[in-house]
Amino acid sequence: MCSSHFKLKQSLCSAKKKNQKREFFSLFCFIRLKTPLVQSKEMAGIVVVFDFDKTIIDLDSDNWVVDELGATDLFNQLLPTMPWNSVMDRMMKELHEQGKTIKDIEEVLKRAPIIPRVVSAIKAAHALGCDLKIVSDANLFYIETILNHLGIYDCFTEINTNPGYVDEEGKLRIRPYHDFHTSSHGCSCNVCPPNMCKGLIIERIQASLAKEGKKRMIYLGDGAGDFCPSLKLKEQDFVMPRKDFPIWKLINENLDLIRAEIHGWSDGEEQEHILLQIIKAITVEENPFLSVDCKFQTIPINAVHETLPKALPVPY
């Protein structure tokens, strides 16, 4: 179990005044890092990266909060006038003025529908020593609230997302991961939103993993924004797109651009099965004499590859 201590890395020096510091750090790219987990040597080379909305929870977290707090009409009015990230910050201001509290928002988040079996899948991957990370276009307040409620916050070593924090007035503020008001993140992929390029985040993670000697990555996602990081994965990696969601369509239309092995999933049971079988397959490949014990069930070595779902074919 990792410590609750963490460091906040930011691209702006700390402001002199405490209230200024809260306002400034949220305007710049940041990641939430926690003390690295003690991992088994067998699994230390496996990194699993999850999207959040529609990959861990079974809906869009922004829409869920807006709808549950009765602000859908206002949201729909504002959406054509400004970027999504800016709309959500404005919505939090409007909800605060209507008397909605942080407690109200937390209670809505705690009852958000979860992908069935995703919690057990995350706990199993964590127990096997995989390094779990989140890359999401939601926000930190939403993600931390839900992960803590589900009891899986400590399974993750890193959360990459839009800053979300409670200001001195008790109002939730949501800021962009990349401050698109001052500059572009520079990604040429036309599916990335202005506030976040997940591909650039994956490249940063890959550079860090190279220094640590880690080699294999498994990426799970559903949205169009998950296509760019899929392009960054290498031949030894795996991408798990959610079937019949935007990323599935984009990958199928651009199979020649994907180097990673592709394994689609439709529901939580399939997601859990495929993820754990990939982890086992990697472990056996790199440790041919190792007996894999997953979720207290010993899997015969010769059965691992037989149970791994067939990959989506990639044309050459």
Residue 228: C-alpha distances to residues 99, 105, 221, 316 (Å): 39, 31, 11, 20
Q: What is the mean pLDDT of residues 210-217?
A: 83
pLDDT at 240: 98
d(C-alpha 131, C-alpha 158), whole Å: 9
Active site residue 67: no
- At 175-190, the pLDDT tens digits run 998 876 666 777 878 8
Single out the catalytic residue among 51, 131, 222, 226.
51
Single out the catalytic residue among 53, 60, 226, 237.
53
Residue 151: C-alpha distances to residues 39, 142, 172 (Å): 19, 14, 23
Q: What is the mean pLDDT of residues 139-145?
A: 97
Three-state DSSP at 9 gives strand
pLDDT at 313: 58
**pLDDT above 60 for 35:** no
For the chain, the average pLDDT equals 82
Active site residue 179: no
Confidence of residue 225 (pLDDT cuts 50, 70, 90): very high
Task: Note whether 226 and 219 are within 8 A (CB).
Answer: yes
Comparing 27 with 212, the larger pLDDT belongs to 212
Tell me whether strands 30-34 and 6-10 are parallel, antiparallel or unpaired.
Answer: antiparallel
| Helices 61-68 + 84-97 axis angle, to 10 | 30
Comparing 155 with 194, the larger pLDDT belongs to 155
pLDDT at 183: 62
